[in-house]
Structure 1
């Protein structure tokens, strides 16, 4: 059997290693240049590869093609493969055939990384043999190839879910759904929503779907579509017949029996959205038979994800916060919502069809100045120039931080929360966050 892997990033390399281990004849093709780290892995494993182009003659010989989530379905080579009836799947679909471990799949527009890390943290504390991967850290395929985990905790993007056929998580979590990546979904929000809900399409009544019952988009979809899984919602606003909810500021889990887990005042991560992430993680751990005390302790001592509302330094009474992972408007909404002081907001990058108007009330209330960090900032300037007196355009993290340093006064917060992708000026949101942190340290 011939396996062709398109794209030699984390997921592609993982699939190639697993494919070789399972006896496939593997060929890796990347239209760009393969990084040295991944090239070395391919050479060490004696897996043939090409970079800088796709050799169609070799690719069309495939029995099965694993495509990287970064490659859109509409590119010519994928369309041609589909016409030739050569199956094109995602790495999570490919890897799921080769594990007997329980899969916990976590998707959503925001909060999925934090929730994935929370679940993993609780399971590790409970001494459960768990691996974390997918859209974060190591690829699922590499994990399956190299370890026998009892539980796989996977962060899943809509792009990864687009390529599934039989992939089924035993526990699926949808944290929330807000417009994002619309450029990949023909600018139709419903296409993106359907994509997220693919996480539950193969689930049965023995499986679980944990979701935000305060999210209208999710509720509407569930009302109008058949879900076979057992539904376990979570809510900050209402008591539920089953699921996770708040009672007197305590997190209550209710499934089969009712359990009080902890007071939200002792959660390590603050903010309403993090309370929801904690509820989803607690419910997951409870289904996996983790003791209540272990869940509580884990949620009390968890350290957050890097680049997500990360405190960097306080300089002259000004707090600098790195929220570079906020690559969409909704994530930035959470960040601004949690600001308690006048804020100098650094925003901008590659706009994925953003509507900044929903940020208007928060900007009016909290933001004293805006620093644009992107090549094209027209939309941001146009949206906010009537509500914020000072808007400055910059073309790099160092310049943005220097301008912020001049503007901010004692008691203010300088917040990098871009609401955009980073690819115009940076390699990734991590690169953007690291350059921001570096610039702050050099002040």
Structure 2
């Protein structure tokens, strides 16, 4: 090994690592403290949700897909509901659409506050971490009061929503927003002025506007590089046409800008929630007709999750269950930017660049193809049924049972 090669090392991060709390595996090649190349392996969190939807009916899938991600549970259910309602040719009442938007923006507030705390922890700023996680309890209490749940709100039903807003709940929302807005002003000042925090974020992981377009990043990660892209603005859904949001962008493209864009989005979420409450339409909460069986066809639905564009493809063959559902989450779109932006940075900056996209590894539910060789040496692809049976036989053997017996 020559001298130059001896100074090159591969540093693994994940799937279990102090700087990475979720199951993803990265390998960074470093020379000294400088990263020279990066690779990622995803798929550790495969739970078979897409496949599982094929054996459940349209209503059951609403609650299954909500569990793709706890932080983005409502927006997953909303994306699915929009697609199913299009297939069913059902018109959702205006009041239900407005309530869906309120929950979506409250979920965005929760997601951004949670992320800010996680990012502060990775930066070694645990005081900010504890403050933001304390304050996110405010929005979680609001969502629990509305829906009865703090994580999976289950606000949607096919054709509408399952609960209404009362004077008491509206008063609690407005009171909570007043407190959170005051705290957000403080957090923005910290992110924008604290010398320690700026050392970890300013001019770190900079991505230009052209790079952001080339890499196809979405959400706040893209908007921090000046990309004017937001599904809520470009293709309004639910009630965003009546209660529009204001696009928040910055041009710097570094980690600091990614923090500031998300904080600016919090202020706009507070504004739009107040606007919806002030102009909440009257009417029913659900459509009068929602068929059990949907006509044959296919549809796509696009929504803006807190992390960026969430894309659903739904195909029906005319029964009570879908033939295929495909979910593309924003983390998958943004992950490529991590591999690009870490090159040339110090190894110590890698966790911050990763957290800058607000990654969600549980959203990266991906299928795998398992191949084995038969006794004759010919490879064969395992079917879903054979893979399931292999798992049953494996655990029967571990329990000391004969796998050939039922």
State whether TM-score is above 0.5. no
**Where is the strand percentage greater, Structure 1 or Structure 2?**
1
Greater relative contact order (Cα < 8 A, sep 6+): 2
**Where is the helix percentage greater, Structure 1 or Structure 2?**
2
TM-score normalised per structure 2: 0.26
TM-score normalised per structure 1: 0.25
